[in-house]
Structure 1
């Protein structure tokens, strides 16, 4: 646990020290200086009892690497990126938030991270997350891990940052990095992006490699960008997207990976038919009012709004849960067995035993009933039937059917409600009936959330959902909306909730 227990200040290279490397008169370049400013901001606002708790550990060479990437003229030019701590990077351990993986120092980069570095992006550090991507307990609190503690929402530090990519969303909102990488199985990019007031993009499953990422579901897992603008998110996706021979799901990625920033500045909604899920705001009137303003902005930008109704099907959720349980027990065993690090667990059964042994730290706030259920979910025939059902209901009979029936380019709805109070004792407090993000998650289709305003200074996002591999078109639509948006976007207060500006 040597990496995790060192004070963050001990992991930093100071700006004066960097300047001295090039001689007495050397000055840090702009990327190096900006990286150090991000580090300083993390130290000021992320640490301690009142800090956000969004960053678990920093890369000690980040500022130097940013300067080098800038001097080399790379596409990202040394821009800083925080990485969710279930994605392997060569210089830092990958814990998934669990003490069982505190020493999971593999010394290797996930292929998406190798691509990021090749493009001139710099790994600034690792972000906190809901432990095991929020797939350990049915009574969990989003944004909590035994390694990182609780992540706080920078707009209201007594409120939740959502999960499981809680640290990535909170850190970007707080200005701790240019952008971050999150992962999603069902809502884990889009929810934290929405409640933290940033852009989050869950690409088509298979657009970004999952190799050397702690797995949850091979059917639904994907990494994706979280940033302050659609353009920045598109820049980051451009860097990390592409086929990987070790991940069969990405076989077609090179056919669709492109410069995702192309056309964003000129993108127009004029004449574009948009399917509007008008009733998917959970009956929460303040959210409905923000949503109506967003729809007005879309209409004034020239979009043709078409009302669409989705009734939902509980069979999809039941089938999805079976898929997640089966794939998790299968794939986490493989990951743990093959980690080159010296870790104390090599199977899901080992994880359950580890948590019982370390119950004071791991099980204080909630248990591991999901782990225990996954351990027993081994019927392959039942799994295969559930996977077919889930995909059909979400894809062909879900998003595809809605798009075709109403002749629309994509669908829009609120992403989530505003952030709820942090409650480690009783867990999360969700507003139900909001959005259709699970359709995109289960089908593996792209889902973009863009800030659309706030409810009493708590951010809420607008979702854009489209067909498989329509990632570029979805980003263009989001960029066009971003320009047309009339709503005020609050800046993070870094204090407890106060609805008074």
Structure 2
């Protein structure tokens, strides 16, 4: 059985801060698919559509995008002349987040008709601030919580998403389509969701920036759930600045999601101060036990450490071991909340002939086994149906929250007097194998600490192993989102490693 550390899941959510203080985007992003002297928002939107047709639908068939807005160029023109600070920039949305235009399937045929006609609050906020929804992205079905033997990046609705850096390698789950789409240059930005690694893993292996906010900074309303404790949505982009800009359009309190009650106190212009932030004298904890054993990952991380030191940071080595029983308790929490929260979401869907419970989903999959269960089973769904002991759940939840917060990230930051903690995000992408499932054997990374604590976690590209991207994780305490983004922007500026360019071909050894 794969450990819960390898079960990558879901996320979520909502509104901006001092949005009026953000400057409108007047110039083309440096990664725009058209020349700067020819740039217009509508021209960029058209170029993205052409690129999706050429590289996602045809050619290497990345299969990251499952629905597109053919009129996105017109929407980009209209919104770029408004007051929103996103000013016509295009955003792809993971298909477990509701948008008014398309069904929200979570990758499952059971939800293929889940056309609610409504925007999740986070989508409404992006539109309000001038962003244009370009389309929807594929994902690991049910955000990779259906089976221990899954192949990340596969869903019955969208098929298999491929990694643009090596098309025979995995794009990771569950925000595989969002990660691959940004790496492939299909949009300005994408939204992913995370429960335990589902933003940071695909961002790392696809060579992009991924940010998992503090749980409660972004609304989860109208997002297909796994865990109310851990779910959150977050931006996936090419640069830290872009992630901060998009987060500024997402963050804020939502009266329908009580977890976000304090979000308005912490939402801000998350781009403020990024360009000027200095690492000089900043104390940073290095999670030595989470560097892992892969020599290529260790070498890339050592170069990142040297970059931090060259920028003036003070690195402090920290030895941390996962508490005994941690992963078993984590699974108990996820499965209990899955059956509880999924039942609540399904029961409230407005459409007719929709499943009402997780048990209905299990029955649907059994009845449609050829399409749904050909490659892997639904053992975690089945286990969730019988994970109903509330006392055991609450004990597991309280124990692991204390382990990751009070006795985890908070203790490490206080005991070692450090502002941030860093480690490799994970190892390079593994070869995709639908028959045998994921070959997830990386011992690098500490992402489950901020995932379970509900604290912010940023991954930034730090180089490559044999042409395969690897990312650097930066995380800190609750509501330290802005600080983490500033540290990431400073590392991005100090980084000396060469970053790989997608080949859109199967992997080959470096010459």
Give the TM-score normalised by structure 2.
0.91
Q: Who is 1:347 aligned against?
A: 357
**CA deviation after TM superposition for structure 1 residue 49, in Å:** 7.9
Cα separation, 2, equivalents of 1:67 and 1:99 = 35
What's the counterpart of residue 9 of structure 1? none
- TM-superposed deviation, 1:71: 1.6
Deviations 1:224-248 (A, max 9, x none): 0000000000000000000000001
1:275 aligns with 2:251: no
Partner of 1:87: 97
Q: Aligned runs of 1:224-303 on 2, under 5 Å?
A: 224-303=234-313
Asked whether 1:186 is paired with 2:165, we answer no
What's the CA shift for 1:315?
A: 2.0
Matches within 5 A, 1:57-206: 57-206=67-216
Equivalence for 1:11:
none
2:466 to 450, 456, 464: 456
Shift of 1:316: 2.1
Q: What is the Cα deviation at residue 498 of structure 1?
A: 2.3
Aligned to 1:19: none
Displacement after TM superposition at 1:56 (Å)? 0.9
Aligned pair in 2 of structure 1 residues 29, 437: CA closer, same or farther (>3 Å)? closer
Once the two structures are superposed, the pairs formed by residues 480-499 of structure 1 within 5 Å of their partners are 480-499=490-509
For each residue in 1:357-392, what CA deviation from the matched residue of structure 2 results, as whole angstroms up to 9, or x when unmatched? 110000000000100000111111111111101101
TM-fit CA distance, 1:281: 2.6
| Structure 2: gaps (5+ residues) | 1-37
Shift of the alpha carbon at 1:280?
1.9
1:428 to 430, 438, 443: 438
- Give 1:52 deviation, angstroms: 0.5
Q: Answer whether contact 1:282 1:431 (CA < 8 A) is retained.
A: no
More deviation in 366-375 or 490-499? Answer: 490-499
Question: Could you tell me whether the CA contact under 8 Å between 2:426 and 2:443 is conserved in 1?
Answer: no
The C-alpha deviation readout for 1:244-296, integer Å capped at 9, x for no partner, is 00001000001011000000000110000000113423211111001000000
Alpha-carbon distance in 2 for matches of 1:431, 1:45: 30
Alpha-carbon shift at residue 59 of structure 1 (Å): 1.9
Alignment coverage as a number of residue pairs? 474
Q: In 1, distance between residues paired with 2:152 and 2:207?
A: 17
Q: 3-state DSSP class of the match of 1:46?
A: helix
Is 1:316–1:394's contact at 8 Å kept on the other side of the alignment? no
Q: CA deviation at 1:344?
A: 3.5
Partners of 1:224 and 1:180 lie apart in 2 by: 9
Match of 1:368 in 2: 378
Name the structure 1 match of 2:4: none
Secondary structure of 1:477 counterpart: helix
Instruction: Tell me if the contact between 2:457 and 2:475 (Cα under 8 Å) persists in the aligned partners.
Output: yes
Aligned partners of 1:281 and 1:435 also within 8 Å: yes
Residue equivalent to 1:322: 332
- Tell me how far apart the structure 2 counterparts of residues 59 and 328 of structure 1 sit (CA, whole Å): 31
Q: Hey, what's the Cα distance between the residues in 1 that align with 2:490 and 2:277?
A: 6
Confirm whether residue 393 of structure 1 aligns to residue 390 of structure 2.
no
Contact 1:454 1:460 in 2 (8 A): yes
**RMSD of the alignment, in Å?**
1.2
Tell me: CA distance 1:418–1:432, structure 2 relative to 1, closer, same or farther (3 Å).
Answer: closer
Say whether 1:410 aligns with 2:423: no
For the 8 Å contact 2:291–2:445, the answer to whether it is kept is: yes
**Deviations for 1:292-339, whole angstroms, at most 9, x for unmatched residues?**
000000000000000001111142222111111011101111111111
Q: CA deviation at 1:499?
A: 3.4
Distance 2:503 2:442 in 1: 27
Counterparts of 1:394 and 1:473, CA distance in 2: 19
Q: What is the distance in 2 between the residues matched to 1:166 and 1:314?
A: 31
Secondary structure in 1 matching 2:110: helix
Residue 440 of structure 1, aligned match among 445, 450, 454: 450
1:468 is the counterpart of 2:482: no
Picking from 288, 296, 316, the partner of 1:306 is 316
* Distance change >3 Å, CA 360–CA 243, structure 1 → 2: same
Q: Which residue of 2 aligns with 1:356?
A: 366
What CA deviation, in whole Å up to 9, does each residue of 1:377-408 have, x standing for no partner?
Answer: 11111111111011011111111111111000
| Counterpart-to-counterpart distance in 2, 1:280 and 1:102 | 40
Query: What is the rounded CA distance, in whole Å, between the counterparts of 2:306 and 2:239 in structure 1?
Result: 21
Q: Is the 8 A contact 1:59 1:92 kept in 2?
A: no
Higher relative contact order (CA 8 A, sep 6+): 2
